[in-house]
Amino acid sequence: MAEFTLELNDDQKQVRDWLHGFAADVIRPAASEWDEREETPWPIIQEAAKVGIYSLDFYAQQFFDPTGLGIPMAMEELFWGDAGIALSIVGTGLAAVGVLANGTEEQIGTWIPQMYGDADDVKVAAFCSSEPDAGSDVASMRTRAVYDQVKDEWVLNGTKTWATNGGIANVHVVVAVVDPELGSKGHASFIVPPDTPGLSQGQKFKKHGIRASHTAEVVLEDVRVPGHCLLGGKEKLDQRLARARERAASGGERVKNAAMATFEASRPAVGAMAVGTARAAYEVALDYARTRTQFGRPIIDNQGVAFQLADMRTRIDAARLLVWRASWMATTGKPFESAEGSMSKLYASETAKKVTAQAIQILGGNGFTREYPVERMHRDAAIYTIFEGTSEIQRLVIARTLSGMPIR
């Protein structure tokens, strides 16, 4: 009988401790500064590249961890350091996942290295899906991609929003409509190479949290990309669209679109990010409760505080287990028959919001000031229930999966 264990192996522990050290020694000391500056922390990204954290090789090693725990373990430790800086370090990964999920081997080998650059000249990439009128409602996407058969080029027009690294990226991965009649099933993903004419940065957003991560609109005006920049290739796209038309005509099952394939693959990783932020806030609150005295004793002696900490730790551990389960399932090829990926993202993101709020409450007035990090952690935690599928969307996905009904 195979041995069952939830314990990390020696190699995983070594990587975890290495990442934790980088988060503690490099990310955390810089967190407050870059949050206030609201700028991409290029020196920290470069430092991550120098030690091998910001690199294709590192993420490939974690991605191919046979247990599936490499990526969530890395995300938790980096986001324990600081969510804004960590997202600047790992934000390129969403574009990379988009290529991995939809691209050919040649496209993967060509474009993913260009997303990272090297330690002397770091680059970033952007995944562009959301639009001003089409966030969760992907069927309302308006960005169009029209094929110019004579030149074997695709012409992209539209505006993307909420794009991490949008406009400053070396490589943009853009989801666009190729067949409007098919709704969300008529989408495809495209690589926009560096310095392609017609792509520009629109509004840069000033955000409530994760301020060190660059978020902006991406404007596409007659952007022409070569035919080989269609992820998966035109033959595969034509076949997929033909199947979608047949299913639409017969009322058959739905076909997943390019954006959803990317988000499904990344949801447990987002859950791990949320776990890291929640754990960081919990640890600050625990240390504070042990050292802060009121009425002659540490406040952790008070049942009201101790019970909050007990609930916080329980939720964090439960969230981590859901993330690990989904990550293991994805790696071992087990289908999310009960929407386990969405479950992990939903519970972990809600846990991060609740735990960081509880941390502020335990610190009292101090928690409400920028002298303590839980205020920033609480602002950062708000994004987890919004990006890559809101909590409401996750509940909808879970409910539809469990019921088999088109719940609206």
Where do runs of H (alpha helix) occur along 52-125? 56-63, 70-81, 83-90, 92-102, 105-116
Determine contact, residues 15/85, Cβ cutoff 8 Å: no
Report residue 402 as tokens.
Answer: 């469990």
Determine contact, residues 384/309, Cβ cutoff 8 Å: no
Q: Which residues are catalytic?
A: 388
Mean pLDDT in each 10-residue stretch from start to end of the chain (408 residues)? 81 97 98 98 98 93 94 97 98 92 94 95 96 80 96 98 97 96 92 98 98 98 98 95 85 55 75 98 98 96 98 98 96 93 97 98 97 98 94 95 90
In whole angstroms, give the CA distance from residue 306 to residue 311: 9
Residue 142 amino acid letter:
R
**Nearest CA-CA partner of 348 in 311, 323, 331:** 323
* C-alpha torsion sign, points 216, 54, 197, 157: negative
